[in-house]
Amino acid sequence: MFEGIIGHDFQKNILLRAAQDNLASHSYLFAGPDGIGKKMVAVEFAKLLNCGGALPGPAGKCVCASCRKIEKGIHPDVALVEFAGVKNIKVDQVRDEIEERLYLRPFEGRFKVVIVDESERMNQNAQSAFLKTLEEPPPGSVIILVTSRPDSLLPTLRSRCQTVEFSALPDDLVAGVLREQGGMSPEEALLASRLSGGSIGKALGFDGGLLEWRRELITRLGNIRKNSASDISSLTEHISSGASPDETERLELGFRFIMLWIRDLALARIGSGRITNTDFMESVNNEARKWDLKDLLEIERQAERAWYDIVRANANTKLVLDNLFIKLSVNSGMG
């Protein structure tokens, strides 16, 4: 089991033992950074709980009827709840999407499993309503709350769950997979691993075009002139015309690279060796010298806010980006 999921051995062992010994908890909190496979582990755990006797098929995956249905997302007792595009999960959505499924009797499997991805998006009322379910879980049910922001969940909610902590996969592990599966050179693989924040899925999507796009972005960021309108608008233009055809994905990558750039400046400022943009060391060090650490941390906070405004509050992308680049240009060109 857990075929195709790399790393997280400790977590997989805990879950495997719980399933084998029939000691699964009623509720779990899978907490850890985005994009490292928490949701995939949850789905595999649901398979383990309901597996009809492992039948190894291609790629080592079990092909029993139950596991196949879960893999396809059509098992009647296993629900992966993803509130795609929903900013704020409200009480009635919790009732409709989560509780209704839980209180129906399992009709095929041994366990009814509900996986709630990005569960921190439940608003306070929704979380309070959900707490009641966690206090008196329906028999035979296993609820898995997946989150990258456990501190956005009510402490009372968290304390009802058995927490399984996930960490980002180590760079060298991710880089190894990228060399083998993605055919990247050792240098490309290490860079892609760091740029992706240890997410193999994301890093495998980093093709030559995207890396070139990022290289251009970092070059422009490193050469931005103080309050230069043309530098600023060309940076915004670069992000908007980016390497992915999907706008949200493009923006997400753009922001990710901008945030890593700002973080690198802060790290260089304090003399840390954990720089991501290792192919731009000179540029990072030059820029970092022009900044106070506290201003960099403030800009980092503003960049996070800008990302939130665009994705969750539907702010005007061009305005938000222009604003961010103006702030980033304030200390530039003075070196």
Return residues touching Zn ion (CB under 5 A).
51, 62, 64, 67
Show Cβ contacts of residue 78 under 8 Å, excluding neighbours closer than 6 positions. 43, 46, 50, 69, 70, 109, 112, 113, 114, 115
The secondary structure element, H or E, covering residue 165 is strand 162-165
Q: Which is nearer to Zn ion, 67 or 142 (CB)?
A: 67
**331 vs 295: CA distance, rounded Å:** 10
Question: 97 forms bridges with which residues in the sheet?
Answer: none
Q: Which is nearer to Zn ion, 3 or 165 (CB)?
A: 3
Q: How far is the CB of 106 from Zn ion (least distance, A)?
A: 16
Q: How far is the CB of 44 from Zn ion (least distance, A)?
A: 10
Q: Which is nearer to Zn ion, 51 or 174 (CB)?
A: 51
The structure tokens listed for 52 are: 């009809």
Q: How far is the CB of 56 from Zn ion (least distance, A)?
A: 9
Please state, in angstroms and as integers, the Cα–Cα distance from residue 265 to each residue in 168, 245, 261, 273, following that order: 22, 29, 6, 11
Taken as a whole, the chain contains a residue count of 335
Q: Which is nearer to Zn ion, 65 or 319 (CB)?
A: 65
Q: How far is the CB of 107 from Zn ion (least distance, A)?
A: 18
Q: Which is nearer to Zn ion, 51 or 142 (CB)?
A: 51
Q: Which is nearer to Zn ion, 110 or 215 (CB)?
A: 110
**222 vs 279: CA distance, rounded Å:** 12
Backbone angles phi, psi at 146, to 5 degrees: -105, 135
- End-to-end, the C-alpha distance of the chain in Å comes to 56
Q: Which is nearer to Zn ion, 20 or 234 (CB)?
A: 20
**47 vs 175: CA distance, rounded Å:** 28
Q: How far is the CB of 62 from Zn ion (least distance, A)?
A: 3
Q: Which is nearer to Zn ion, 64 or 154 (CB)?
A: 64
Show Cβ contacts of residue 126 under 8 Å, excluding neighbours closer than 6 positions. 89, 90, 91, 93, 94
Query: For residues 309 and 202, is the Cβ–Cβ distance under 8 A?
Result: no
Query: For residues 108 and 76, is the Cβ–Cβ distance under 8 A?
Result: yes
Q: How far is the CB of 64 from Zn ion (least distance, A)?
A: 3
Strands, sheet with 112-116, edge to edge from the N-terminal-most edge strand: 78-81, 112-116, 141-147, 27-31, 162-165
Q: How far is the CB of 140 from Zn ion (least distance, A)?
A: 18
Question: What value does the CA radius of gyration of the chain take, rounded to a whole number of Å?
Answer: 22
Q: How far is the CB of 195 from Zn ion (least distance, A)?
A: 36
